[in-house]
Structure 1
Amino acid sequence: MNLPASYADHFRKLIALGVPIIIGQIGMIVLGFADTIMIGHYSTESLGAASFVNNLFNLVIIGSTGFAYGLTPVIGELFGSGDRACIGGKLKNALFVNFTVAIVFTLAMTVLFFNIDRLDQPAELIPLIEPYYLVLLASLVFILLFNAFRQFADGIMDTRTSMWILLSGNLLNIIGNYVLIYGVAGFPELGLVGAGLSTLFSRIVMLGVFVAIFFCLPRYRDYKNGFIRAALNRADFRKLNALGWPLALQMGMETASFSLTTIMVGWLGTIALAAHQVMLTVSTLFFMMYYGMGAATAVRVSYFRGQERPADVRRAAFSGFYLIMMMAIASTTLFWQFRFAIGNWFTGNTAVLGALASLFPIMMIYQFGDSLQIAFANALRGIMDVKIMMLFSFLAYFVISLSASYVFGFVMDYGLTGIWMAFPLGLTSAGAMFWLRFLCKTRQARSGKTV
């Protein structure tokens, strides 16, 4: 790969900014691995129930994370222009907006809870699904408030704080899982509900720690003062909603191509649900690693946009893409080497292991389309060109991917393998559309004009 020398500095800065985000993301995935492993070894029925509930909530959690991502380019642009006074005020308004959105999402998921019996899931899983669902529902508000603090910190290029809070919170969650799932140290054996309670407690603690750090550490003093002086205002409310909802819908529709297929997988039975959960847990590792570098790309792009350096906006975006592609090649190679051992990490059920075998090659194929769409979705986020992403996501993830899952899985009768065959189509088509849009929006950078 022959790249101009000017890219070298972009690579260094992106790596320095992105690695702490990636480590924090990996910490979240390790938590997912630990949850799945502990629940899978507790019982196959618990694993199937966790698959159903987690994938429904992943749709909301990733959508709400996408909403919070609307704050990053706002903070990054102010940071790039040197306007520190406004940043604390933007965070204050973002917390209010995120709290409002959390209430909306909680109400929507409550309505869904009362209609679970209409989703045609295995009858033996319903007693496990319902209490676990309610515990996770209680944690949504804490996720959205934490995300606001996290995007603020990332926007001022302080990615290490979020990393350490996430790693510590996830360690607390893993310990809580072990204690509450199996009933250790005098605690009751709660099984799947214990895993949910541990997750809820850790999310409350992580938010509390971030609040304490923001208001107590000297390095945040200027931002804290701006936070205290600022008033809630309609202009910020409108801007954050205008940026946040398209990103929430874009990421939500992407996740829906995976999470909503869980309902289809449930039609195939408990074994298919368990295999689906294992593969989603593994694939999420790659996604979150790539998205860590994608988030760094968005920060760098917004920073250069604030400094009115359009050529560097373009270079930062393509540098992020090249790095994510290199990560995809390395991770896919490792995945292939350990493909036979991975299933045994999660379950000893031979039927589940047999179902996993046909899904490995498909997951490897879609890593490259995933890299493309992550890099340029975040590049578009960095230049605040987010509304068109909703249309692209709808076409890629609903018109192409979700419908293809049904056709391959049930019309053509390929079952679980057919459902997964649709994922590479959706991800690659989304990536191509985001890439072309970014090229269109930044072509003026070549002549030195403002993006």
Structure 2
Amino acid sequence: MHEMRTLPEKSKYMIKIVLPILITQIALYLMTFFDILMTSKYSITHLAGVSIGSSLWVPVYTALTGILIGITPIVAQLIGAKKKKDVRTFVHQGFYIGILLAIVVFVGIFLVIDPVLNLIPLEASVRIVAKKYLLMLCIGLIPLFLYSVLRSFIDALGKTRVSMFIILVSAPINIVLNYLLIYGKLGLPELGGVGAGLASAITYWLILLIAIIIVLRSNPFAELQIFHRWTKPSLVKIRMLMKIGVPIGLSLFAETTIFSAVTILMSVYSTEVISAHQIAMNFTSLLYMVPLSIAMGATILVGHEIGANRFADARTYSWLSVATAICFSLVSISILLLFREQIASVYTNDKYVIELTVQFFFFAALFQLSDAIQAPVQGALRGYKDVTITFIMAIISYWIIGLPTGYILANYTSFERFGYWIGLIVGLSIGAITLTIRLVYLQKKMK
């Protein structure tokens, strides 16, 4: 990575890194969206099964791929320090971890899927679809985790457009496979929602194949020769990766499950309230792709600068990322406040649900600023390889402060259903403040 000296140069380079990440994240989001949409056209029962299966899978997947994201700051710092020979060894250790995680998840799903699904009050037909959907996903576990390692490696080199290209090529294929396997076209079996799981598994293999071909044939990946002179498992290096990756994975798990927990706690309210909550959560999840992408870019940029011992540049990229996310948050707040009713109307025609959704959007607008601060600050801290304290802060902010606050407000005040959203705002705000303090402390320490 070349040193960018002026603020305009740094801003331009950050956009070059972040924009492909954003497109990649939106494409991944749309793949899940089309799974749900196409299954909903097939059967309500199959839609419910896929929704339950996805709800169980996403937190697990997020946490485990978060562990593999630990490769990004390590490789980024090695590249910044011009220690390219060490990159191959760490990527190999990442592959070993990925295969191990895939085996653990595969065995875990087979052992606990029935007991877990039996704990949820579901119709037998829905339970069967959810189980088969998850079992189909198992076919793609190994390529999914191996690709996560390769994507972390690719992104760490600053070549985020390559990851974007892979997903943009694969997403339409996934949609076609959905169509063929859900509805049973071209002589293929009609699998319904289970077909969406199989389509995803096949797509994971395809994504891995494309990534391997690119890494083998295209520079700067080919010159690093990560598929040559294979290194044996190293407990020392695996421990280094896990020391970075596990806190990242647990932090992402804490963030993901807090929203799932709120959804479960809100199940005591009417169907209209739950529907409005889900609509508001779905749209704000799409908006969150921007600060999330900026955070992922911040990890790469800060990692490069720290590896090169350019601490002042690392500080600049950290706060430039935060400023960019805050600017976008002002746009997203405006959208949520000015076009609340129009957005809600896209999801449903039910007037009462629209009215409730409009109210939820007001609270969603309030936590846009907190999201815009905590996400890129967290990304910058990962670039410094400072992840353990970040994880502890996430647990305290979301689970010890945010969720209990929401529960108290929802059950013991007039805020009722909106109390949980206020709890999310409190948790995210405290997270943003404490993480910012941590980043400032770390930067002063590394002057």
**Counterpart-to-counterpart distance in 2, 1:350 and 1:256:** 30
Q: Is 1:37–2:37 an aligned residue pair?
A: yes
Which structure exhibits the higher relative contact order, with contacts defined as CA atoms closer than 8 Å and separated by 6 or more residues?
Answer: 1
**Counterpart-to-counterpart distance in 1, 2:40 and 2:405:** 29
Q: Is 1:238–2:227 an aligned residue pair?
A: no
The Cα of 1:189 is off from its aligned counterpart by 4.0
Deviations 1:10-46 (A, max 9, x none): 2111111111111111111222332333334445554
The Cα of 1:241 is off from its aligned counterpart by 0.6
Q: Secondary structure at the match of 2:79?
A: helix
Paired residue type of 1:100: L
Q: Secondary structure at the match of 2:85?
A: coil
Q: Could you tell me whether the CA contact under 8 Å between 1:63 and 1:252 is conserved in 2?
A: yes
**Counterpart-to-counterpart distance in 1, 2:135 and 2:271:** 21
Q: Could you tell me whether the CA contact under 8 Å between 1:85 and 1:226 is conserved in 2?
A: no
What residue is the counterpart of 1:259 in the other structure? Answer: 260
Mark the CA change 1:364 to 1:138 in structure 2 (over 3 Å): closer, same or farther.
farther
What residue is the counterpart of 2:28 in the other structure? Answer: 28
Q: Could you tell me whether the CA contact under 8 Å between 2:341 and 2:354 is conserved in 1?
A: no
TM-score, with structure 1 as normaliser? 0.88
Matches within 5 A, 1:234-383: 234-268=235-269, 274-346=275-347, 353=354, 356-383=357-384
Deviations 1:393-431 (A, max 9, x none): 110121123333443445558665443332222222112
Q: Could you tell me whether the CA contact under 8 Å between 1:52 and 1:273 is conserved in 2?
A: no
**Counterpart-to-counterpart distance in 2, 1:156 and 1:56:** 33
Q: Could you tell me whether the CA contact under 8 Å between 1:31 and 1:174 is conserved in 2?
A: yes
TM-score, with structure 2 as normaliser? 0.89
**Counterpart-to-counterpart distance in 2, 1:143 and 1:368:** 33
Q: Could you tell me whether the CA contact under 8 Å between 1:274 and 1:352 is conserved in 2?
A: yes
Paired residue type of 2:224: Y
Q: Could you tell me whether the CA contact under 8 Å between 2:114 and 2:131 is conserved in 1?
A: no
**Counterpart-to-counterpart distance in 1, 2:33 and 2:339:** 15
Mark the CA change 1:225 to 1:248 in structure 2 (over 3 Å): closer, same or farther.
closer
Structure 1 segments, 4+ long, off by >6 Å, are none
Would you say how many aligned residue pairs link Structure 1 and Structure 2? 442
Gaps of 5+ in 2: none
The answer to which of 58-67 and 146-155 deviates more is 58-67
Paired residue type of 2:196: A
Mark the CA change 1:413 to 1:44 in structure 2 (over 3 Å): closer, same or farther.
farther
**Counterpart-to-counterpart distance in 1, 2:57 and 2:274:** 15
Q: Secondary structure at the match of 2:229?
A: helix
**Counterpart-to-counterpart distance in 1, 2:153 and 2:77:** 12
Mark the CA change 1:120 to 1:404 in structure 2 (over 3 Å): closer, same or farther.
farther
The Cα of 1:301 is off from its aligned counterpart by 0.6
Give me the CA root mean square deviation: 2.7
What residue is the counterpart of 1:92 in the other structure? Answer: 92
Matches within 5 A, 1:43-192: 43-123=43-123, 125-192=126-193
Deviations 1:139-185 (A, max 9, x none): 34332211110010111111111111111222212222233334444
Q: Could you tell me whether the CA contact under 8 Å between 1:73 and 1:381 is conserved in 2?
A: yes
Q: Secondary structure at the match of 1:115?
A: helix
Identity of aligned residues (%): 25
